[in-house]
């Protein structure tokens, strides 16, 4: 039988197990067929989650959000696994799982004047380019999904950033149309994020533009006013958050972070996150106060003696058996894994919605932009956005999104606890006392688990500055790093390093320390 080698970018519909079970749609290059956009949107949304969070596990170790229970983890040492696709799911997501399915979706949408579906397709592709280039740097842009090629050349990251803006503008143009076959009912058929609400999709597009503008902070193209403009046109509250439905009836339709899927079993909360939440970093106190931040009990888990502990990078869980650090959803490591559906806090429930972008994150982008505009000094507007970000985070943790709604009624945090924290020493109270570290570390707390990729992008923009990320400690570094920290993920091994080596050589990706090369948005060339 003749062996056929498929190019990495000849994508088909990938219906991975995720937050819903969807209709299987097969596309053959020899027997072209048209597919309804609604049938394509549902699995595309499921794959938005899959790629983001599989790689968030490794990225969370780079950013010291969490760590392994075992010592000497390669990602905690800022390294990588040679010859492995870990982490390469984001690459697969962008070029395969979402890939040409967006083109098929656009083909049906434009032909049928379904401008709303077209707008959603452009929005998702823009988001995918943005979140992918932020971890990979240079990417295959101009030749992506070109079925006539067997090898593909890489393009500069700044070109990918500009493509995101172009696609967002196309998304807005189409989402604002009301003619043709635009229909909330029809869009809702495949839309498990906003259920056909075009106004919320428009806000999501502005959220993507805000990320794009905020991440340009080290470049000559940065414009703080644009960041503020985009944020103000984006989410108005937590009800606008970009989240995707997860039913939680089985591992196949459960939230990635829930116990049914068991994707966090080898991970432990970090010492850094514990210190952020117990007040030692944000107040400067040497004594932990486990009651200071009401989010602590929802985001993290105590050891059997009730004390919150975290692992330090590369050291593993060094506590005695009785005081081992538990799983993030609260089960001690010495106990059996939790039964599916039994985790009851934060977004660790099997029916928690998959979180893509939140109101809190955008408010911290606005606070950072206003702080920069005021020459790295606090002002009333920056302070207001910063406090609004904290408030939104407290509300989100108190009522994490479940199943069919972006806002639940769990009420984990009382109004009294919320008010007390906002007036505590952990929160800057005046423009004069507000620091960049306050903004970025509160954003890190607000983004816990779901926002690992964005947190790492922020951390790299500040070049791991410990004046901003006060709890970050440089670990013993990976043997090939040359004393440098990680600044990008290497392209997916089983596509690029197997079939596209010549193109990798052009951008220097064959070097053993390629993952330490600073991308354009960190250090413009």
pLDDT value at 262 more than 60: yes
What's the pLDDT score for residue 7?
33
Condensed to tens digits (0 to 9), the pLDDT of residues 212-226 reads 999 999 999 999 999
Report which DSSP code applies to 319: S
Token pair 């850094």: residue: 272
What's the pLDDT score for residue 23?
36
pLDDT value at 335 more than 80: no
pLDDT value at 436 more than 90: yes
Angle at the Cα of 407 (from 449 to 23), degrees rounded to 5?
A: 75
Q: Is 483 left (phi over 0), alpha (psi -120 to 50) or beta?
A: left
What's the pLDDT score for residue 14?
35
What's the pLDDT score for residue 20?
42
pLDDT value at 12 more than 50: no
Residues 412 and 399 sit within 8 Å (Cβ to Cβ): yes
The total number of structural domains in the chain stands at 1
CA 340 to chain centre: 24
Condensed to tens digits (0 to 9), the pLDDT of residues 144-158 reads 999 899 899 999 999
- Residue 508 domain boundaries: 34-222+477-525
What's the pLDDT score for residue 16?
38
Mean pLDDT rounded to a whole number for the chain: 91
C-alpha to C-alpha distance for 99 and 93, rounded to whole angstroms: 7
In a domain, 253, yes or no: no
C-alpha to C-alpha distance for 197 and 188, rounded to whole angstroms: 8
Rounded (10°) CA dihedral 235, 236, 242, 245: -160
- CATH of residue 38's domain is 1.25.40.390
In a domain, 232, yes or no: no
pLDDT value at 17 more than 70: no
In a domain, 168, yes or no: yes
Q: What is the percent of the chain with per-residue pLDDT over 90, rounded to a whole number?
A: 78
C-alpha to C-alpha distance for 468 and 446, rounded to whole angstroms: 16
Residues 237 and 392 sit within 8 Å (Cβ to Cβ): yes
Residue 380's CB is within 10 A of a number of other CB atoms, namely: 12
In a domain, 517, yes or no: yes
In a domain, 466, yes or no: no
Condensed to tens digits (0 to 9), the pLDDT of residues 374-388 reads 998 889 999 999 999
Confidence of residue 2 (pLDDT cuts 50, 70, 90): very low
Confidence of residue 290 (pLDDT cuts 50, 70, 90): confident
What's the pLDDT score for residue 497?
96
C-alpha to C-alpha distance for 103 and 273, rounded to whole angstroms: 41
In a domain, 495, yes or no: yes
Confidence of residue 15 (pLDDT cuts 50, 70, 90): very low
pLDDT value at 390 more than 80: yes
Token pair 């607000």: residue: 446
pLDDT value at 309 more than 70: yes
User: Do strands 66-68 and 267-269 pair parallel, antiparallel, or not at all (unpaired)?
Assistant: antiparallel
Phi, psi of 67 (to 5 degrees): -155, 180
Joined together, the tokens standing for residue 299 give 């985001």
Phi, psi of 305 (to 5 degrees): -90, 5
Confidence of residue 29 (pLDDT cuts 50, 70, 90): low
Which CA distances in Å does 70 have to 231, 326, 466?
Answer: 40, 13, 25
Better-scored residue on pLDDT, 343 or 283? 283
In a domain, 159, yes or no: yes
Angle at the Cα of 450 (from 310 to 14), degrees rounded to 5?
A: 130
What's the pLDDT score for residue 33?
60
Q: Which stretches of 342-493 are DSSP H helices?
A: 359-373, 380-398, 415-422, 436-446, 452-461
In the beta sheet, which residues pair with residue 402? Answer: 352, 405
Q: For 75-79, 288-292, 456-460, 500-504, which range has the lowest pLDDT when averaged over its residues? A: 288-292
In a domain, 339, yes or no: no
Residues 6+ away with beta carbon under 8 Å from 505: none
What's the pLDDT score for residue 371?
97
């Amino acid at each position: 039988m003749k062996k056929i080698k498929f190019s990495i970018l000849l994508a088909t519909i990938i219906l991975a197990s995720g937050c819903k079970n969807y209709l299987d749609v097969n596309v053959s290059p020899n027997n072209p067929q048209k597919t309804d956009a609604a049938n394509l949107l549902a699995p595309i949304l499921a794959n938005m989650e899959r790629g983001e969070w599989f790689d968030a596990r490794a990225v969370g170790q780079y950013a010291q959000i969490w760590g392994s229970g075992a010592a000497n983890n390669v990602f905690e040492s800022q390294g990588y696994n040679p010859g492995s696709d870990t982490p390469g799911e984001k690459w697969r997501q962008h070029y395969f799982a979402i890939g040409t399915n967006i083109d098929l979706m656009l083909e049906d949408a434009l032909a049928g004047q379904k401008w709303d579906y077209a707008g959603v397709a452009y929005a998702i592709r823009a988001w995918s380019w943005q979140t992918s280039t932020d971890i990979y740097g240079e990417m295959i842009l101009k030749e992506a999904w070109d079925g006539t090629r067997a090898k593909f050349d890489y393009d500069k990251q700044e070109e990918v950033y500009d493509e995101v803006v172009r696609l967002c503008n196309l998304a807005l143009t189409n989402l604002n149309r009301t003619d043709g076959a635009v229909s909330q009912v029809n869009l809702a058929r495949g839309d498990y994020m906003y259920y056909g609400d075009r106004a919320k999709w428009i806000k999501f597009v502005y959220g993507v533009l805000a990320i794009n503008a905020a991440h340009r902070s080290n470049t000559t193209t940065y414009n703080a006013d644009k960041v503020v403009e985009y944020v103000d046109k984006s989410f108005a509250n937590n009800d606008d958050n970009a989240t995707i439905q997860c039913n939680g009836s089985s591992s196949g339709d459960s939230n990635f972070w829930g116990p049914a899927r068991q994707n966090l079993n080898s991970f432990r909360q970090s010492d850094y996150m514990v210190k952020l939440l117990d007040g030692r970093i944000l107040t400067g106190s040497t004594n932990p106060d486990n009651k200071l931040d009401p989010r602590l009990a929802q985001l993290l888990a105590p050891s059997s003696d009730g004390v919150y502990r975290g692992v330090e990078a590369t050291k593993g869980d060094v506590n005695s058996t009785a005081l081992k650090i538990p799983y993030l959803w609260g089960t001690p490591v010495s106990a059996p894994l939790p039964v599916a559906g039994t985790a009851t806090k934060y977004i660790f429930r099997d029916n928690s919605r998959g979180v893509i972008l939140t109101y809190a994150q955008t408010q911290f982008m606005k606070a950072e932009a206003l702080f920069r505009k005021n020459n790295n000094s606090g002002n009333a507007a920056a302070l207001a956005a910063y406090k609004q970000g904290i408030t939104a985070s407290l509300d989100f943790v108190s009522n994490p999104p479940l199943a069919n709604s972006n806002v639940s009624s769990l009420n984990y945090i009382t109004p009294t606890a919320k008010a007390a924290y906002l007036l505590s020493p952990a929160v800057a109270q005046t423009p004069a006392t507000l620091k960049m570290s306050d903004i970025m570390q509160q954003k890190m707390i607000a983004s816990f688990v779901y926002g690992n990729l964005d947190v790492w992008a922020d951390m790299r923009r500040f070049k791991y500055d410990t004046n901003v990320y006060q709890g970050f400690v440089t670990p013993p570094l990976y043997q090939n790093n040359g004393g440098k920290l990680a600044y990008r993920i290497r392209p997916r091994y089983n596509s690029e390093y197997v079939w596209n080596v010549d193109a990798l050589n052009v951008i220097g990706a064959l070097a053993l320390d390629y993952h330490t090369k600073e991308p354009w948005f960190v250090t413009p060339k």
